[in-house]
Structure 1
């Protein structure tokens, strides 16, 4: 079976699909409910504004599909904006309700003594190193580009942080649901290793 990459009109589908393919798995870019729910694993990518993304998801009915998927045991990964959409709400360009799969809010960096957007390579600090995402990995750097960050309500959902004027949510997880604020496919060896570990969690058959 394939790894479904959810197509709702806002996401870097090509780069995610190519990364999945490079790691030996079969990507399936789709917006079809049946294909998403029958896949071995699901990736929700995202680039752009939170409110627009949620509007696209609702118009296509994929918001319901994502909640269905998250209620089961199938591994689901949100990437960048896709991770933020997993949470309850966002203040990006107004107040917006999210998928509410994980409790928490998406807020803007307050601007302190650092530049916004947060852009560049920053080190990850694993808070739950026993999590399967981190199997066989050492802490390293990932590439971030974002102006808003997630404040999870449950500390247990926080798997890794980076420091940018404050601890910033980098990786989240609860049950079969995971999220990465950075793009793993653009984050060098560590990013690809994290993506490989997620794909291993899906139990999907590698093609090579």
Structure 2
């Protein structure tokens, strides 16, 4: 099993790699799009702004390689935090920017409904919307660690895996075929986060 973490210049690559290694994976952090073709699983991490993230992905030549890995090779992909948001059609952080378009929807700023603080930082629970293999053996209402100001408005509600009760309610994980995304950081989410990573590796 070879897990490739996409290095497009944004993200806590080291902590993600260490968590995956503790879950039994052989991990490669790569800045070479051609490495995706030999991957068993792909991680798209990210910390920062949507516009800068997509700019780096385009300039690094990642878009065609990601599309081939997803659509032709059927390799499981997991987007984490900004990495999940980049799966969308479009994002509005730093100006309107085209995303990867792997999960239909838009990324917009969270709106406080009861004086919640933005950015949303800290532990919060997830509420399951589907019987997802990504959340196998993880109890409903489990807590995960979040750091974000923007959220994913998903067009097709059947692709919403979990929601989280903050700023009303926001989508905290998605799935479209072999493409998965989580708004939280599993590598920082202790037991539940490591179980999720093991579930992903078992796909």
Aligned mates of 2:127, 2:193 — CA distance in 1: 14
Q: How far does the alpha carbon of each residue in 1:35-73 deviate from its partner, in whole angstroms, 9 at most, with x for none?
A: 112110000000111101101110111022122222132
Distance 2:117 2:194 in 1: 27
- Structure 1 residue 33, shift from structure 2 partner: 2.4
Residue 133 of structure 2: aligned partner: 132
Counterpart-to-counterpart distance in 1, 2:107 and 2:26 = 32
Consecutive unaligned residues of structure 2, counting only runs of 5 or more, are none
The answer to whether the Cα contact below 8 Å between 2:110 and 2:167 also exists between their aligned partners in 1 is: no
Cα distance in 2 for partners of 1:149, 1:103 equals 13
1:97-136 aligned within 5 A: 97-112=98-113, 113-128=115-130, 130-136=131-137
Structure 1 SS opposite 2:104: strand
Q: CA deviation at 1:136?
A: 2.0
Which residue of structure 2 lines up, in the alignment, with residue 69 of structure 1? Answer: 69
Q: CA deviation at 1:168?
A: 0.8
| Separation in structure 2 between the aligned mates of residue 74 and residue 63 of structure 1, nearest angstrom | 15
Q: Distance in 2 between matches of 1:48 and 1:58?
A: 16
CA contact (8 A) 2:46 2:83 kept: yes
Distance (Å, rounded) in 1 between the aligned partners of 2:193 and 2:40: 21
Is the partner of 1:102 in helix, strand or coil? coil
State the distance in 1 between where 2:36 and 2:201 align. Answer: 15
Cross-structure match for 1:177: 179
Partner SS, residue 122 of structure 1: strand
Q: Are 1:3 and 2:37 counterparts?
A: no
- The DSSP-based 3-state class of the residue aligned with 2:199 is helix
CA displacement at 1:119 relative to structure 2: 1.0
- Measure, in 2, the Cα distance between the counterparts of 1:200 and 1:97: 31
RMSD over aligned Cα, in angstroms?
1.0
Q: Number of residue pairs matched?
A: 200
| Contact 2:102–2:176, Cα closer than 8 Å, also in 1 | no
1:141 aligns with: 143
State the TM-score, normalized to the length of structure 1. 0.93
Task: Give the corresponding residue for 2:93.
Answer: 92
> Once the 2 structures are TM-superposed, how far is the Cα of residue 121 of structure 1 from its aligned partner?
0.8
State the alpha-carbon separation in 2 of the partners of residues 190 and 147 from structure 1: 23
Q: Return the match for 1:199 from 189, 198, 201.
A: 201
Query: Which structure 1 residue ranges, 5 or more long, are not aligned?
Result: 202-208
